[in-house]
Amino acid sequence: MSRLSAAAIAAEVRSGRTTAEAVAQDSLVRIAAYDGVQPQTWIERPRAEAVLAAARAVDARVAAGEDLPLAGVPFAVKDNIDVAGLPTTAACPAFAYVPEATATVVARLLAAGAVMMGKTNLDQFATGLVGSRTPYGIPGCVFNRDYVSGGSSSGSAVAVGAGLVAFALGTDTAGSGRVPAAFNGLVGFKPTKGSWSTTGLVPACRSLDCITVFTATAADAALVDSVAAGFDPTDPYSRQLTSETPALGAAYRMGVPRRDQLNYLGDGASERLYDEAIARLAATGATLVEVDIAPLLAAAQLLYAGPWVAERTAAIEDLLRTRPAAVHPVVRAIVQTGFGVTGLEAFKGLYALQDHARAAQALWAQIDVLLLPTAPTIYRIAEVLVEPFALNANLGLYTNFVNLLDMSAIAVPAGYRDNGTGFGVTLIGPAFADPALLDLARRYEEIRPMPAAPDLDTTGIAQTVRLSVVGAHLAGMPLHWQLTSRNARLVARTRTAAAYKLFAMADTTPPKPALIHVGEEDGAAIEVEVYELDLAGFGSFTAEVPAPLAIGTVSLEDGTAVKGFVAEPRALTGAKDITHLGGWRAYIASLA
């Protein structure tokens, strides 16, 4: 499946050679096809009709003469960033809410003509670099699904890497916008802190967080940056651009670490590919300068071993205190430690960071850009599930310090291992060096052809079953956890065929409905949610369904049939007919 170009799509739509609606339809087809491979890429998607309506609105704006830099470009949003009307979960069902306002960055992209295709999976509360810390299923590397996709922006990287959308928003506190780019052969652009608004972002470490973008090329990253960047008075961490590092000339100084400071954790392929990337950049006019990165590595340790872990605790303090079991156990083990951080330790951490920052600032007198491996190696999903802490920490070896030390960065592909997984390098500069880094990344791509990406891994596709739920298992309802605990993925919010009646059963805890097929003459369409489960999850779910409820076949309004809740006749004893309300949510609301 070919990857999409944001710049090419926008040019085609603006010129009238295609339409935003046609592009959106193509993206929907791509997404549907890849659902058979990695449905866990997504947490929430709007209905296809809503996506196509948004695309048609873009076509109308183009026809009216608007110059839209992202006209018709399909994109995805990491599900810790708000999109009005769609749930924001941060990969924690108990935390979920439906925002009234759209995040500033997303709003700017929509205003520029981009079309939002859905919300993507992530390491819960953006805490991780592996993509395995989520109840929504674990996305794997698009080229070899035995290996991690990288996190926390796992779903966003997979959506771009698999060619489902042209770009996707991620976030980056410790490397989450760069590590997944490396593993999936993408560009991962992490702008300077504050240059992209974080209004509408669920914070991880609020003083360090950045919204980022995954693209297929540096030119596309620059295009998105031209729309997304800009001061936002609603964001207290937004920064006015006071100075900008100029583009690097034909000759520039590129810093590389001392050999004894490079640790590939035994991955010989990473070492070879890093050396090849150095040679590639040298061909763009770089003069190599060996530098001491010890202060950077020391600063990196502060992110989790220092007081900044308490900032993660602050972001979800209420949930940790009131419902700690709702937090993924690995995430909880990390974030709960913040309760023990003292004010004394916080100030000591700030003092240590300032020392490291002063040493880091001295680097820029010696070099113009620093080149590092994005991650030293990659791991199988099975490995990080057995050892979730140390292996995750290894992946942040060369990324954790960047935001702490107020640097800008762009990760670019640098080749592929024999197992198909991607390796990348990161170009790092001082704050507000974003344009210079984007330009250098473009030159890096152009100096000679990049190695061809491997084919997508579509082998061993697991069989799945679609299940409609009508009552206590709906999102936000008391038994919804029985679906999320089985990695069920929401496919659609829709209605049944107009052939059913809905009853509120008597004396059930929690309250439950009974859906009865009565035929089109007497029935109505009832609101349902359709989820997808693997065979094992579906089997274990069905085994827990209590009488008089059962799992049968339910007809939907579009003519398709799925498995779903039905009821035996005895369910109607003492039950109340609530068909006229159209669904269980309306009935529950009527009780308030």
Catalytic positions are 78, 152, 176
Burial class (CB in 10 A: 0-12, 13-18, 19+), 298: middle
Chain centre distance of CA 156:
4
Q: Fill in the DSSP letter of residue 176.
A: T
DSSP notation for 48-62: HHHHHHHHHHHHHHH
Q: Fill in the DSSP letter of residue 571.
A: G
Estimate the crossing angle of helix 6-15 against helix 218-228, to 10 degrees.
70
Alpha-carbon distance of 234 to 169, in angstroms, equals 20
**SS3 of 335, please?**
helix
CA-closest candidate to residue 515, choices 546, 465, 471: 471
Estimate the crossing angle of helix 218-228 against helix 104-111, to 10 degrees.
110
CA-closest candidate to residue 326, choices 488, 93, 34: 93
Q: Which two tokens stand for residue 117?
A: 């295709």
Amino acid present at 355: D
Q: Which two tokens stand for residue 296?
A: 């950077």
Q: Fill in the DSSP letter of residue 563.
A: E
The DSSP bridge partners found for residue 555 are 561
CA-closest candidate to residue 43, choices 72, 70, 81, 1: 81
Alpha-carbon distance of 444 to 285, in angstroms, equals 10
